[in-house]
Amino acid sequence: MLRTVRSCIFVGKFNMESPHGPMNSIKLWPPSQTTRLLLVNRIVKHFTTPSILSRKYGLLTKEEVEEEAKQIESTGFLAATQQFEKDPESDGGSSVQVYAKESSKLMVEFIKTGPRPKEERETVPELTKSDHVFDISGAHVAASVLSGVKDKLTEVDLSDIVSRRPEPEAVEVMKMFSSALEGCGLSYLNLSNNGLGEKGVIAFGDLLRSQGNLVELYLMNAGISPEAAKAVCELIPSTNKLKVLHFHHNKTGDEGAIAISQLVKGSPNLEDFRCSSTRVGSVGGVALAEALKTCTLLKKLDLRDNTFGPKAGVALSNNLSVHANLTEIYLSYLNLENEGTIAIANALKTSKSALEIIEMAGNKITFKAANALADCMVSKKHSLTKINLSENELKDEGAIAIGKALEDDFGRLCIVDLSANGLRSDGAMSLAKAVSGKLGFRLLNINGNFLSYKGIEGVKEIFKNFPRMLGPLDENDPHGEGDDDEDGRDNFNELKSKQKE
């Protein structure tokens, strides 16, 4: 396994298979002599062929750089070996990091102070590097190391490797990694946090085209526009083995969601699908809902923070019955309203899934959907651990219906969140009484509502023997939203001070 993360360049290990079964974990350090020679040749080629650096400093001849390239590699190897000797039981990941960084630094120093007279060289700002972001020189070194071990790699994390780089340089770096890793048989690939866009996805084309056995694919905060989504779908030859597919915080939109839906349709083994904060509306939501019916092994579904609307909610409900393995469903901030919510609640109620987590916050749900939600909860009473219906409009009538349902035997329930629902004392008391005596219960959140002073004291009294189970109440407004009564505010502020004490 090889991963690049924020705190380092390469971390992890990989496994090598033999004809007689799996061998012990193989260390990344030291590299073979062939890999070291490959790096020397790559350094020579870097200095003698056109590149971003050559446009600033000019090209060198092979004779001028051959000996220097050997010295750079040797110095980098020595520094990395010293790092490895500090922890010889490690897999060598940190040594590969030192090898790449030290060689990269020496390459930049040499090109700036090379054999040409100083007065002939252009003065340019210092090239910057971070622990996880690659410039052209660093990418050359890392790509050389990768190409020597790629046949042994099963997991690669290339997230956040070109942050703040100019687009031409970023694209070139991505192409280097893509070319170096082309053909490796990966089960895990993470390209998140690179602002890919269509150009970035295409830059990783060699790598993506060679991956037919991916099990996990992550494209979060990666600039996945509609065009980029289409490119991903066109480049990956097969997702038949895919179990985890995460898109998050992208500008995918309806058109991109339609493209992603084709990827989902081709992933019958999908267990964990996330397409949250991707600006997907009703059309895209319906397309994803239809595609998910092929994913009968789905365990976790996260579609939060999109603008699906009721129609997409109903479309999703039509296919939930096939997800018998579903344990977590995150449908907050989708504008489902009562229509979509009731359809989904009824579908979950009749499904065979042992649902553990249900989140439907911020969906404009009123008391009219409360009975359907309550029935759904009771149907999953043996498995539910968390219920989040915050930032809706259930009010007392809805809270009382749900509270009555929660009086049943919910053996695993830990968290109930009905904050910011316009509740007053009756609704809050109903919820408090329903959950306060449950073994293993951890938190009731009813903050941001309209509980009276007496109601707050009543709820606190119910939880007097286990106060940690009751969330803060400092944002409740006993007079309703926007009240300007000075005495009321003074009394409430005094109450909040006592709570803090």
Query: How confident is the model over 385-438, as pLDDT tens digits?
Result: 999 999 999 999 999 999 999 999 999 999 999 999 999 999 999 999 999 989
Query: How confident is the model over 86-121, as pLDDT tens digits?
Result: 777 776 667 777 787 777 778 777 777 665 443 433
Looking at residue 20, its pLDDT comes to 35
**DSSP strands (E only) in 181-313:** 188-190, 216-220, 244-248, 272-276, 300-302
What is the C-alpha to C-alpha distance for residues 151 and 172, in angstroms, rounded to an integer?
A: 23
What is the C-alpha to C-alpha distance for residues 162 and 228, in angstroms, rounded to an integer?
A: 17
Name the DSSP class of 437: T
Question: Residue 272: which of 331, 220, 216 has the closest Cα?
Answer: 216
Name the least confident of 12-26, 67-81, 278-292: 12-26
Helix (H) or strand (E) holding 35: helix 33-48
Name the DSSP class of 306: S
Looking at residue 328, its pLDDT comes to 98
| Continuous H helices in 355-394 | 370-379
Query: How confident is the model over 204-263, as pLDDT tens digits?
Result: 999 999 999 999 999 999 999 999 999 999 999 999 999 999 999 999 999 999 999 999
Looking at residue 57, its pLDDT comes to 62
Instruction: Note whether 240 and 266 are within 8 A (CB).
Output: yes
* Cα distance between the two ends of the chain: 51
Instruction: Compute CA distances 382 → 33, 301, 322, 349, whole Å.
Output: 59, 20, 20, 13
| Continuous H helices in 87-160 | 93-112, 136-149
CB atoms within 10 A of CB 113: 11
For residue 484, pLDDT beyond 60: no
Query: How confident is the model over 153-202, as pLDDT tens digits?
Result: 888 888 888 877 888 989 999 999 999 999 999 999 999 999 889 999 99
The alpha carbon of residue 167 and the mean position of all alpha carbons in its chain are separated, in whole angstroms, by: 23
Q: Identify the sign of the CA torsion 164, 165, 170, 173.
A: negative
Residue where the block lists tokens 């060198």: 60
| Continuous H helices in 266-368 | 282-291, 309-317, 337-350
Looking at residue 52, its pLDDT comes to 59
For residue 472, pLDDT beyond 70: yes
Question: Residue 223: which of 245, 252, 203, 202 has the closest Cα?
Answer: 252
Q: Which residues contact 414 (CB under 8 A, 6 or more apart)?
A: 385, 386, 440, 441, 442, 443
Query: How confident is the model over 296-353, as pLDDT tens digits?
Result: 999 999 999 999 999 999 999 999 999 999 999 999 999 999 999 999 999 999 999 9
Question: Residue 403: which of 441, 368, 442, 429 has the closest Cα?
Answer: 429
478: preceding bond cis by omega (within 30 degrees): no
Looking at residue 53, its pLDDT comes to 59
Beta bridge partners of 123: none
SS3 444: strand
∠ CA 368-373-377, rounded to 5° = 160
For residue 1, pLDDT beyond 60: no
Tell me which amino acid residue 164 is: R
Q: Strand 2-5 vs strand 8-11: parallel, antiparallel, or unpaired? A: antiparallel
Beta bridge partners of 272: 244, 300
Number of residues in the chain = 501
Q: Strand 244-248 vs strand 216-220: parallel, antiparallel, or unpaired? A: parallel
Q: Strand 155-158 vs strand 2-5: parallel, antiparallel, or unpaired? A: parallel
The alpha carbon of residue 120 and the mean position of all alpha carbons in its chain are separated, in whole angstroms, by: 48
